[in-house]
Structure 1
Amino acid sequence: MHWSTLILAFAAAPTSALIRFQCSQLVRERLDPLVNPGLIPSPHVHQIVGGNSFNATMDPKTKDIPGESTCTTCQFAEDFSNYWTAILYFKARNGTYKRVPQLANAGFEGAKGGGMTVYYMQDPLYDTKQLSSVKAFQPGFRMFVGDINARNKAQAARFRQLTYTCMDNAGTRDKETVAFPARPCKYGIMTSLRFPTCWNGVDLDSPDHMSHMAYPESGTFESGGPCPSTHPVRVSQVMYEVIWDTSKFNDPAEWPADGSQPFVWSFGDGTGYGNHGDYVFGWKGDSLQKILDTKCYVNCEGAKLQSIEEMNKCSGSVPEAVVEDIDGWLDVLPGGHVANYS
């Protein structure tokens, strides 16, 4: 299809939806079909939500994600996508590690394992009009955001929309940072991952799982910056919110003697700059596009929803592929990682 025809086709139907929903935990283990397809186990532990066809391979050329899933841990019953991030650990003063549990967002209490809250947005989160025209992702689409090797602010600058919020209560949303919070957080630490919003209009994936996507060429998604000419197709912004219950680890006697923060990602990053997330599209048919074409804010007429109890029934339905202890007090992180800061 010619470029101009493609872009006009995507811009033909204005959209005005913002959806926000919770997903219960599906599984926690060392699998990563996006970055390490077929590798069992993958290098580090992830927490995954979504459709239960998740496995080590998930080849987009042969796999029908919604067709092969029998359930989803997400609130939208036709969303069999998979969303995942690394897992957060606490490093005690004696050098051992303990997995930090997750909390569901306010209003979604009871979601098994805490899971995560997922957004699809056309405009800034707090703009209830949501008037921009965007296109739903297509079958086979997938993407990655972040730099697992970033250990300082300069290295993480490309992904300025991956942030942390030190929560004093369930409603705290201000003072975001790009590194781990330096002080104890009374309620927990929330990680927010905002994926790029500009697509090249051709590739459903790329070798690095990022090059087919881009952030706006100026400003940010929130400021309505235009897409670059290389990535002219505007898509909705996928955003994850994950709340880590760090309140259980706020005893200063267990923190490092120098007072530095004690949390570390499952791949060993102790700075927080290596934050990253993975996304594999799996909405059934045109269900996502129909929602995006509906004028709605969070609750969308016609969307098929399931209760938290129904979501929880799908939790744990994926056969365990890697048998190892990820929850006890560990001398090293699963995969042999240790905390590093450079």
Structure 2
Amino acid sequence: MRIRGRTLSALLLAAALGVSALTVDTYTAATAHGETTAPAAGAHGAHASGAAKGHVMGASALPSADDADGDGYIPAVPQVTDVVPSHATPPAAYFHEFQANCSVTHTAPDDPIVYPGQAGASHDHTFMGNTSTNAQSTTASLTGGPTTCNAPADSSAYWMPSLFKGDQKILPVGPQVIYYKSGVTDYRSVRPFPKGLRYVVGSPMQSAQEFRSHKGFVEGWECGDSFFNVDFPASCPSRPDVQLSIRFQAPSCWNGLYLDTPDHQSHMAYPVVKPGTNDNVCPASHPVALPMIEFKMAFPVNGDMSQVHLSSGRGYSFHYDFFNAWEERTLKALVDHCVVGGLQCNTRGYDENHPERGAVLDADHRLP
């Protein structure tokens, strides 16, 4: 529902956070979906102001090429209204995935989803994939752009809060693992992302408990033999082979109506468990099964971790953004062959356990 009015509680919260009442109005709507919480005063010490400033869900948008009226709703064209969630039982297949691995391109205090057209309005982000991503990015500007992803057809933008050790920014080295998987049991029902779909996974304002209980939480922060950490571990083994890493999964069920919504999350949902079974299905409100993105990020930092923090705050403020700009034919070929086909594919769409099935992309990661 579009929130136009302002409640007294919204005005009071706005005053407390030092943000606009409009920001809090839509932030409050996001909270209703259980995705965000208000940041406690001083929660992140010197970084608290950056977190509050840089990524409040539902921040007021400016009119853009993708959102002409600036209301935060970007309708899909065409909208998908003829799908119901699949409850079918598919053939047994342990894997249904491919990798779209991308290297870091640059960092900047920009966020074209939460703060479109507002350069410098966000906390610092580390960008991967499309090399042109900035506050002005739109579907048109990203499409066909240069990319650090293995497949040249993947001009999508991927970003997350930058990680620091003290004042030193720590950037992941080399291609980072970005899985495209099935999040539902009937992997045959997964279809490609619509061009221009975008969303935010998690929230910089989530509490430690909310981060731990988030449906996208996989293993938390880990290094060496330390796993399932909600915040950064106090120390990691000081060895060249040890990095700080995290895995976090995105929602994979789409309402079929909007490419974005004011809170940047409510057009997407996580699968739910079908009653009486262990099957994951899309909810009726979000019936369209899309690939489930999973970030698997590794940061070259170890030893004493007491000075490690994110630009958004503590370790449990981790979140990330995705803006789809794949070339449609290539994405569909990978989804159909690897996800719908029940394979464990690499970045070329090749499953070494099933060489007879072939690959989707050639040696240059291009669709033949």
Provide the TM-score with structure 1 as the length reference.
0.68
Which residue of the partner structure matches residue 116 of structure 1?
176
Q: Does 1:164 align with 2:220?
A: yes
Which residue of the partner structure matches residue 41 of structure 1?
120
Percent identity (aligned):
26
Q: Does 1:298 align with 2:345?
A: yes
Amino acid aligned to 1:136: P
Contact persistence 2:158–2:321 (CA under 8 A) = yes
Q: Deviations over 1:145-173 (max 9, x none)?
A: 111112331466345526534222xxx7x
Q: Structure 1 pair 274/162, CA: closer, same or farther in 2 (3 Å)?
A: farther
Contact persistence 1:101–1:244 (CA under 8 A) = yes
Which residue of the partner structure matches residue 83 of structure 2?
6
Amino acid aligned to 2:248: L
Which residue of the partner structure matches residue 310 of structure 1?
none
- The secondary structure found in structure 2 opposite 1:31 is coil
| C-alpha distance in 1 between matches for 2:81 and 2:325 | 27
Q: CA deviation at 1:79?
A: 0.6
The structure 2 residue matched to 1:76, chosen from 140, 143, 151, is 151
Q: Does 1:283 align with 2:306?
A: no
Q: CA deviation at 1:202?
A: 1.4
RMSD over aligned CA atoms reads 3.3
Higher relative contact order (CA 8 A, sep 6+): 1
| C-alpha distance in 2 between matches for 1:225 and 1:8 | 10
Q: Structure 1 pair 207/304, CA: closer, same or farther in 2 (3 Å)?
A: farther
* Structure having the larger proportion of residues in helix: 2
| C-alpha distance in 2 between matches for 1:185 and 1:195 | 30
Contact persistence 1:197–1:215 (CA under 8 A) = yes
Q: Deviations over 1:253-281 (max 9, x none)?
A: xx6xxxxx4321112x12x1211000000
Amino acid aligned to 2:172: Q
**What pairs with 1:193-342 in structure 2 (closer than 5 Å)?**
193-218=248-273, 224-247=279-302, 250-251=303-304, 261-267=306-312, 269-270=313-314, 272-294=315-337, 295=341, 296-299=343-346, 300=349, 301-304=359-362, 306=364
Q: Deviations over 1:229-262 (max 9, x none)?
A: 2111111110111101112xx14xxx6xxxxx43
Contact persistence 1:147–1:274 (CA under 8 A) = yes
Provide the TM-score with structure 2 as the length reference.
0.63
Q: CA deviation at 1:135?
A: 1.0
Which residue of the partner structure matches residue 181 of structure 1?
233
Unaligned 5+ residue runs, structure 1?
Answer: 92-96, 104-110, 256-260, 308-342
Unaligned 5+ residue runs, structure 2?
Answer: 1-77, 350-358
| C-alpha distance in 2 between matches for 1:152 and 1:210 | 20
Contact persistence 2:81–2:257 (CA under 8 A) = no
Q: Structure 1 pair 99/6, CA: closer, same or farther in 2 (3 Å)?
A: same
| C-alpha distance in 2 between matches for 1:304 and 1:278 | 29
Q: Deviations over 1:103-149 (max 9, x none)?
A: 3xxxxxxx3xxx5211101259xx9xx94420110011111111111
